[in-house]
A and B are shown apart, each in its own frame.
Chain A
Amino acid sequence: MRVNFKSILRTGFLGLMIAGVLVPLWIFAQNTNDNQKAKGFCNLISNLASKFDQRITDRETKLEAKRAEITNRITERWSERDAKLTEKRAKWDTNREEHFEKLEEKAETDEQKQAFLVFKQAVTVAIASRRAAIDEAIDDFRQSVEQAKIDRKSAADALRNTFRNSIRAAFQKSETDCDVGVDPATIRTNFRAEVKAAKEKFENDRKEIEKLQTSMETLINTRKEAIKKAIDDFKTAMETARTEFKAAFPQAETED
């Protein structure tokens, strides 16, 4: 296969010629467009302000819908878990009653029957205490989640309001400047600078809101500690009950 260098050079040269004509034309068109926009800026303001307000309203509607969706999902999950927890506890209560019945069957003397009753009472109280402590930890956690939602909402609403007010103020200033005959190009430049500043502030503040999420780690750890304490206390109570039962009912240890 022969490479035709002349042809390649010709094509390249032609391409450069075309680019040499088109690029300045494109830059010129951009500048003309920019100049036209600057000149017509005062006529645009009212329309731009209406568009902006409409977009804010549309996004508010979307945000509210998303917030409602989040609330529904959380509420739904909580309800499902509450139902499951109740179901699980009932299942274990039934099982424990069977264990108690079998254990009671082996109590022959009054002393053994008394030891059984004391044991049963201790186990029942320990379970009730553990469940109450866990329920409290769950409730506290859920309240914290609710609070985190409220805090996030307040912060996001404040963020939106600040941004909206800054842009509205920029529109108002531009309108006033247009009314008093300031050069439209200058008005536009100032307006662009104000929009840029408002957007930058919005972005920085928004990042801060996202950091609120890290506080959830603290909530999770607090809850973990509360649950761990409830379980540790329960285990201690169960060990005490078992030891006391075995002391009063030593044959139970070796029967099975």
Chain B
Amino acid sequence: MKKNAVIFIIIIMVIILLAIAFFPKQKPSPHQPPETTEITPPAATGNVDDLVNATLSEISDEELLIKEEEKDTSLINLDSQEVSDFGQTINESEF
């Protein structure tokens, strides 16, 4: 009886592990705007090089956001299916 219970538990665990391994991972929706990471400005030191470097970090911080804009182009053809569906408005099997 005890042996059967152990086998049963092992089988359940194997099923759970397989389910975790093969279950399709949730992909981020292409329609969701991607998250951007922030760059924290460095503390002021009174050193001219640090000031210049801070202005260069600002560029990187902006670029992260600006690059996201390129992904907007993928939204333009989201109506492909709807356009394609016009070709299915007449069905030869009906006549």
- A associates with B: yes
* Nearest CB of A to B7, in Å: 29
Q: Which residues of A are found within 8 Å of B72, using beta-carbon distances? A: 74, 77-78, 145
Q: Is the CB of A188 within 8 A of B73?
A: no
B27 within 8 A of A: no
Report the interface size class on chain A. 35 or more
B83 within 8 A of A: yes
Closest to B71 in A: A77
> A234 vs B56: C-alpha distance in the bound complex, in angstroms?
9
Cross-chain contact of B79 among A67, A80, A127, A163 (Cβ < 8 A): A67
Known: A81-B69, A105-B46, A148-B76. A235 touches B56 (CB 8 A): yes
A108 within 8 A of B: no
* Nearest CB of B to A28, in Å: 19
Which residues of chain B from 61 to 95 have a CB within 8 Å of any chain A CB?
61-63, 65-66, 68-70, 72-73, 75-80, 82-90, 92, 94-95
Q: Is the CB of B66 within 8 A of A138?
A: yes
Q: Is the CB of B95 within 8 A of A37?
A: yes
Q: Is the CB of A80 within 8 A of B51?
A: no
Q: Is the CB of B86 within 8 A of A163?
A: yes
Against A, the Cβ 8 Å flags (1 = close, 0 = not) of B18-35 are 000000000000010100
Q: Is the CB of A123 within 8 A of B33?
A: no
Q: Which residues of B are found within 8 Å of A252, using beta-carbon distances? A: 47-48
What's the dominant secondary structure at chain B's contact region?
helix
* Nearest CB of B to A81, in Å: 6
> A196 vs B91: C-alpha distance in the bound complex, in angstroms?
10
Q: Which residues of A are found within 8 Å of B87, using beta-carbon distances? A: 163, 199, 202-203, 206
Cross-chain contact of B65 among A51, A81, A94, A191 (Cβ < 8 A): A81
> A148 vs B72: C-alpha distance in the bound complex, in angstroms?
11
> A51 vs B91: C-alpha distance in the bound complex, in angstroms?
10
Q: Is the CB of A52 within 8 A of B76?
A: no
Q: Is the CB of A59 within 8 A of B85?
A: yes
A179 within 8 A of B: no
Closest to B59 in A: A231
A169 within 8 A of B: no
Interface residues of B (CB under 8 A from A): 31, 33, 36, 38, 41-52, 54-56, 58-59, 61-63, 65-66, 68-70, 72-73, 75-80, 82-90, 92, 94-95
The 9 nearest A-B residue pairs measured at CB: A102-B46, A95-B41, A98-B44, A256-B47, A55-B89, A216-B73, A99-B51, A63-B82, A92-B58
> What are 11 A-B residue pairs whose CB atoms fall within 8 Å in the complex?
A37-B95, A41-B95, A63-B79, A70-B79, A77-B68, A94-B41, A100-B51, A127-B58, A156-B79, A206-B87, A223-B69
